[in-house]
Structure 1
């Protein structure tokens, strides 16, 4: 009868029993995601505040290689995402058994030690992203305070501000949002975050266009980027080029959450078709913003482009617009944090339920009636463990505020296996492709080429990390 109240079952007077309503073919509550919600998830996951650092990346590569690398990785990301979308159901991409996580897909198709390799790459990357987002969000919050300080006291004022209170504020917000039960309840937050990403990207683009139209202050740009002997030394040029390629490659990656996003979709039309459409929209939208922001940002600032021209104060005025853009960045990262941590939450909670199925702390849920929301089912284990995760990531971010360099290293190590290797290997096996055929050969070449990019980017990240460690002063306020 309680199930009746939740409209999960309806009585069938003809057979005296109950027939299931709103249940999918795997016994779970019917999924209601569409290409719109999936596209919002993808845009939220892909367009991070890193879009504002693309001017720096283009500055290292120049007018020729910069846009070429952007388009190359947009194609690679979209192509491999379509391969991965076909693996959500196995063995048939339309009628096969559902796989709920990336690891489930690898286990179903490849099996063996590759499952452990996938899990290690995926979850280390996800943890790193959530820590990096805590740092990045606090930088944007600090930028709002510093912007008002500069406006009041002049651009030469020091306006030193600590990041730590803002990291705590961000963590407190995540303590609440982390109690959202699963990815299926996250659509509204992803839509808000996607709108925010469009807002601050558009502001950065508009400010760059305005500066270019006003003359740009006679900035220097070139076909090959920063000039050896004038802007940088020969070795710095090489390392920065490696870092720029890595930044662009990993700016597109969302494969580590693709299967979880696809698991929110309706089954009609088939999930793989909807996901491919959403991937096309998400990657195309991202590429347009990346090219515009990167190229106009480079045109505005030239070879001296800052790492982030909204938080690095490439612009000072109008200060209220800079403040609004940084608030949008912070709100976007609030949603993006949830997109990347929900797979971690789901993995740990599923593992605990399988190992301690009778444990009441893990199993029992308490209904709480919340005004304007309805009934929320509180689980004490979920409350404690998720809160602990948010607190730990915030503490790590406070101890190592240069963790974004670690994130670049983690990203370089996970880009190739998650975005390229596994989707290609699973597609080859599921389609029973003949070895050394034309398609098999060029897919293997693509995989090895991307491995080389990951190695190069990892080298650049390690060098950047070494430089930051030399300059690191713990508990220093934001300059």
Structure 2
């Protein structure tokens, strides 16, 4: 055997060992229903609770249009990603950036996809830290209204402690129980939100007029609401990584079970989103808080339960979004920094990551504005139009054909979202930061 051949074999063996160690590719035994509940956990975030408020900023016509369009567009782009996972025979694109590199080239693909994916995943983890902490605080206030108030900062630390433990589960399949619990919780608290609203009945002084008295205020509110809706439909950042856990052979490609799971997930998403958004807005009109559970003050036990469900759900959501980040960090440390793939390395990187997201969440907990800002900035590209651009580059559909037109429609819709949503989100952050005390 030649010297070169021996080197190549050794390199291949090293790559195989690394693949078997990394969290995305180490276990490929998932069933189609894993795909369903992972996708529900990734998609139905705490963002669903801000949808009625987004509706109050958009109004009936634009609000319903935006929800329905987002549901259809993101289901279409998700289908594209599932299809593209194994479009090269004998190869699987297990990570979003690998698909980007195939379309845009080795270097450019990384530069285009990785920053956006990291903004979404790390941003979501930080927002979930804040959501988890605030929901724990709400739970405490509902259960014990006369207790001494505790700072949100401490609740964020309590929430983080669960993630410090769970982040050491080795791979995607090992968090499937956590993810299943999270998916069940998201359906439960969504149902509580709209059922309790219905029971409350339409408020006496309900009004569907615009929230703000000024035109500029309404325009900014409109932009911010677009970001909230975009945030609600953003599970695409982890979809290839979820598909990577499903076994695949030429006779039985992974796209069939994956797509089955996606369809089930999207039906559940519709059952969570549409009733909460429409019933919440119908009952409370423009007097909504940016989290509908705050508008529903009574009964106490029900609101406490719903907030606890939110906590359990965002623990699972945090793990789903953190897993690809762990995969990127661990790959980089082993390949570029030449660390050995050991459990010590894994322990240090993951503990540090949870610690950093906890610290940032404690420092900047303006929840609504952050949603709008991140929602437009990075979620719109990765969920609404990046899959379409990759599809156009690789498959080159016929000009002005159905596929070409559909993709260009999604691209224009997604780019508009990306430009408009952060404007509203940034304004909200600025307004809230004026009255904000650090570590309150």
How does the TM-score come out when normalised to structure 1? 0.82
329-338 vs 49-58, which moves further: 49-58
Aligned to 2:112: 117
Q: For the residues of structure 2 that align with 1:421 and 1:195, how far apart are their CA atoms?
A: 29
Aligned to 1:85: 82
List alignment gaps of at least 5 residues for structure 2. 1-19
* Structure 1 residues 6-45: aligned runs within 5 Å: 31-45=28-42
Question: Are the aligned partners of 2:130 and 2:361 in contact in 1 as well (CA < 8 Å)?
Answer: yes
Does structure 1 residue 284 correspond to structure 2 residue 267? yes
Question: Are the aligned partners of 2:388 and 2:411 in contact in 1 as well (CA < 8 Å)?
Answer: yes
* Structure 1 residues 19-418: aligned runs within 5 Å: 31-91=28-88, 95-111=89-105, 112-150=107-145, 160-212=149-201, 216-222=202-208, 225-226=209-210, 232-267=213-248, 269-310=252-293, 312=294, 314-357=295-338, 359=339, 362-364=340-342, 379-402=343-366, 405-418=369-382
Question: Are the aligned partners of 1:142 and 1:163 in contact in 2 as well (CA < 8 Å)?
Answer: yes
Question: Are the aligned partners of 2:52 and 2:278 in contact in 1 as well (CA < 8 Å)?
Answer: yes
Deviation at 1:442, TM superposition (A): 4.1
Cα distance change on mapping 1:438 and 1:201 into 2, 3 Å: closer
Cα distance change on mapping 1:226 and 1:160 into 2, 3 Å: farther
Question: Are the aligned partners of 2:225 and 2:372 in contact in 1 as well (CA < 8 Å)?
Answer: no
| Per-residue Cα deviation, 1:350-406 (whole angstroms, up to 9, x for no partner) | 12221355x4xx334xxxxxxxxxxxxxx0011111101111111111111226533
Which structure shows the bigger proportion of residues in helix conformation? Answer: 2
Question: Are the aligned partners of 1:221 and 1:299 in contact in 2 as well (CA < 8 Å)?
Answer: no
Which structure shows the bigger proportion of residues in strand conformation? Answer: 1
List alignment gaps of at least 5 residues for structure 1. 1-22, 154-158, 365-378
Does structure 1 residue 425 correspond to structure 2 residue 371? no
Deviation at 1:76, TM superposition (A): 0.6
| Per-residue Cα deviation, 1:138-161 (whole angstroms, up to 9, x for no partner) | 0000001112344x59xxxxx743
- Structure 2 residue matching 1:89: 3-state secondary structure: coil
Count of equivalent residues: 414
Deviation at 1:262, TM superposition (A): 0.7
Q: For the residues of structure 2 that align with 1:438 and 1:390, how far apart are their CA atoms?
A: 45
235-244 vs 415-424, which moves further: 415-424
Cα-Cα RMSD = 2.0
Deviation at 1:196, TM superposition (A): 0.9
Cα distance change on mapping 1:117 and 1:167 into 2, 3 Å: same
Question: Are the aligned partners of 2:231 and 2:374 in contact in 1 as well (CA < 8 Å)?
Answer: no
Larger Cα-atom Rg: 1
- Structure 2 residue matching 1:98: 3-state secondary structure: coil
Cα distance change on mapping 1:299 and 1:30 into 2, 3 Å: closer
Question: Are the aligned partners of 1:412 and 1:455 in contact in 2 as well (CA < 8 Å)?
Answer: yes
Q: For the residues of structure 1 that align with 2:166 and 2:137, how far apart are their CA atoms?
A: 22
438-447 vs 464-473, which moves further: 438-447
Which of 413, 416, 440 aligns to 2:404? It is: 440
